[in-house]
């Protein structure tokens, strides 16, 4: 091959690399409770995939690992209506393609029902059930401005009534069951407007909440969740999946 042909071939290759547009147009994802655990791992997954990531934390000044990712860091306490409203005001006009309601707690629990302090269950319901509802409601205009309009809430198979074969954990189980029900309602009310609402079981993950117990890492869980969330479409609206994309019973 002549030198001229080699030069022309090289220019052609370089031009194709530069001018062929990417099939992926950067989307914006907001992840609550992104300062540690599954939330932090998800923030890293989406950031490395080229998404514009907004990560929230109750105490941003202590979210050093999240800040180190270079994502947009915002203060948010999902249990505080004032905090949620303030976030919505700061994000006014920002298009959000994907909302991931990840923030959650284990909550009060006892071995014996007689020892259960029922009033202490208010906190876990406020965070795990009402929290995602508050955030979704506040950011609905941001989501409505997107073509994707996807809302994924991190639930648990412990929220499945059918899979509850051994009792335990009134607060956590009940709060996730309520979250699942809220998700179904929203999927019915907003599905015709192009929204996609799903709840996801992240697996039994080694996190602070599980005190390091679990059978998968945050990296393994977030990798599966990322695939499921990034590929959501209208046919998934109202569904309950695990982190591998398998359907779960209600």
Q: Residue 92: is it exposed, middle or buried by C-beta count within 10 angstroms (0-12/13-18/19+)?
A: exposed
Q: Would you state the pLDDT for residue 208?
A: 64
Mean per-residue pLDDT, 86-91? 98
Helix, strand or coil, per DSSP, at residue 196: strand
pLDDT at 10: 43
- Residue 55: its H or E element: strand 52-57
Report CA-CA distances (Å) from 232 to 12, 71, 183, 197. 36, 23, 15, 9
The phi and psi torsions of 221 (rounded to 5 degrees) equal -65, -50
Residue 21 lies in a domain: no
Tell me, what's the pLDDT at 214?
A: 67
pLDDT per residue over 224-247, tens digit each? 999 999 999 999 999 999 999 999
Name every residue whose Cβ is closer than 8 Å to that of residue 161 and which is 6 or more positions away in sequence.
177, 250
Strands across the sheet containing 28-31: 72-75, 52-57, 28-31, 98-101, 150-154, 196-201, 239-242
Q: Is position 19 within any domain?
A: no
Q: Read off the pTM.
A: 0.89
Greater confidence, 230 or 11?
230
Q: Does residue 214 form part of some domain?
A: yes
pLDDT digits (tens, 9 = 90+) for 171-211: 999 999 999 999 999 999 999 999 999 999 999 887 666 66
Report d(CA 73, CA 152) in Å as an integer: 19
Percent of the chain at pLDDT exceeding 90: 83
Residue 20, pLDDT > 50, answer: no
CATH number of 154's domain: 3.40.50.720
If you ran DSSP here, which 8-state letter would residue 148 be given? Answer: S
Catalytically annotated residues: 172
Q: Are 78 and 54 in contact (CB under 8 A)?
A: no
Query: CA–CA separation, 173 vs 195, rounded Å?
Result: 26
Is residue 17 one of the residues assigned to a domain? no
* Cβ–Cβ < 8 Å for 38, 15: no
Residue 242's CB: how many other CB atoms inside 10 A? 19
**113 domain-assigned:** yes
In angstroms, the CA 37 to CA 102 distance is 10
Q: How many CB atoms lie within 10 A of CB 191?
A: 15
The CA distance from 158 to 32, in Å, is: 21
Residue 24: the pLDDT is 57
Q: Structural domain of residue 68, as residue ranges?
A: 27-242
Residue where the block lists tokens 């042909």:
5
Residue 5 domain flag: no
Residue 83 falls inside a structural domain: yes
Q: Exposed e or buried b for every residue in 146-173, given b needs 16+ CB within 10 A?
A: bebbbbbbbbbbbbbeeeeeeeebbbbb
Tokens at 175, concatenated: 């709060």
CA distance 186 to 49: 28
Confirm whether 84 is domain-assigned: yes
Total of domains in the chain: 1
Higher pLDDT, 109 or 154: 154
The least confident of 58-72, 142-156, 182-196, 204-218 is 204-218
Average pLDDT over all residues of the chain: 90
């Amino acid at each position: 091959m002549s030198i001229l042909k080699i030069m022309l071939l090289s220019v052609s290759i370089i031009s194709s690399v530069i001018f062929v547009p990417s099939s992926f147009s950067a989307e914006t994802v907001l992840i609550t409770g992104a300062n540690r655990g599954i939330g932090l791992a998800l923030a890293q997954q989406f950031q490395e995939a080229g998404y514009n990531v907004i990560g929230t934390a109750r105490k941003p000044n202590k979210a050093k690992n999240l800040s180190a990712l270079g994502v947009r860091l915002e203060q948010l306490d999902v249990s505080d209506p004032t905090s949620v409203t303030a976030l919505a005001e700061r994000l006014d006009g920002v298009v959000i393609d994907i909302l991931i309601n990840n923030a959650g707690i284990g909550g009060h629990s006892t071995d014996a029902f007689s020892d259960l302090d029922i009033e202490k269950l208010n906190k876990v319901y406020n965070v795990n059930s009402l929290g995602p509802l508050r955030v979704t409601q506040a950011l609905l205009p941001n989501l409505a401005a997107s073509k994707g309009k996807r809302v994924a809430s991190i639930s648990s198979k412990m929220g499945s009534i059918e899979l509850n074969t051994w009792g335990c954990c009134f607060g956590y189980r009940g709060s996730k069951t309520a979250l699942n029900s809220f998700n179904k309602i929203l999927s019915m009310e907003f599905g015709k407007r192009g929204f996609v609402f799903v709840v996801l079981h992240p697996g039994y993950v080694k996190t602070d909440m599980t005190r390091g117990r679990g059978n998968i890492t945050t990296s393994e869980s977030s990798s599966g969740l990322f695939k499921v969330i990034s590929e959501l479409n209208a046919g998934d609206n109202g569904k309950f999946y695990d982190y591998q994309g398998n359907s779960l019973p209600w």
